[in-house]
Amino acid sequence: MELKSNIAAVTGGASGLGAATAEYFASQGCKVALFDLDQERGEKHAASIGGLFVKVDVTDETSVNAGLDAVESWAGGPARILVNCAGIAIGSKTVGKHGPHPLDAFEKVIKINLIGTFNCTRLAAARMCEADPLSCGDRGVIISTASVAAFDGQIGQVAYGASKAAVAGMTLPIARDLSGNAVRVCTIAPGIFMTPMMAGMPENVQQALGESVPYPKRLGEPSEYAKLAAHIVDNQYLNGETIRIDGSIRMPPR
């Protein structure tokens, strides 16, 4: 599937990996809608790339459907590409100094990272399945975001690691579910990337994390995630796969 003249929705599109993906897709001639709760940042970024911003809560069915409706009205057709980048991370041990892991915190991470991803996937996929196939045969492509924490979860990452492992785990079943409808599904599992959260850390911490990557010895650039997402869209034989992009790092316990 080509990015040019196609329509994409990117969740978490106001910052980080989502913002970089939206920017790169737009530079390739794709019509891009940003779904996010950060309206000020989202509207500014959408304006800078000639896209659309819609305030969307990925965990809410009504909100996501309203966002997809807005995309269709704006672009003149359904989103054929969905990139799920919305997510949060917390640090808390199963049992810590102050007792067991707060259950509400665990539930919040699962709700946004896992349920939010599935909610957007199922609703966008339903519209893709109703659309006519494109000239390449695809009806749509869905890309979700896991993490190396899905496989190498560190101390304090039980909630985050569980949510991302589940995103990776549902990739193949969803791809198989949608195979008869010509909708492809893949997941990207990033390593240590230069996101806004990382940018807020001290320079020496950033440098140490970068040097822990076997090669290249640096943090990942959000544009590298975006280019991998673009390749998944372009390469029709990529389906049902979770792809690590991490400089071959395997995370230590802490």
Q: Which residues are catalytic?
A: 160
**DSSP characters over 84-148:** E-------B-SEETTEEPPHHHHHHHIIIIIIHHHHHHHHHHHHHHHSPP-TTS-SEEEEEE--T
Cα–Cα distance list, 81 to 26, 209, 229 (Å): 12, 32, 10
In total, the chain counts a number of residues equal to 254
Check: CB of residue 236 under 8 Å from CB of residue 229.
Answer: no
CA–CA gap between residue 38 and residue 115 (Å, rounded): 19
Which residue, chain included where needed, has tokens 């395997």?
250
- Token couple for 158: 């039980």
In sequence order, what are the residues at sequence separation of 6 or more whose Cβ sits closer than 8 angstroms to the Cβ of residue 190?
A: 17, 145, 147, 148, 220, 225, 245, 246
Q: Which residue from 180, 139, 164, 7 is spatially nearest to 83, judged by alpha carbons? A: 7
Q: For residue 11, report the phi and psi dihedrals to the nearest 5 degrees.
A: -80, 150
Tokens 């796969």 correspond to what residue? 241
Nearest to 181, CA basis, from 143, 128, 142: 128
Question: Side chain identity at 58, as an amino acid letter?
Answer: V
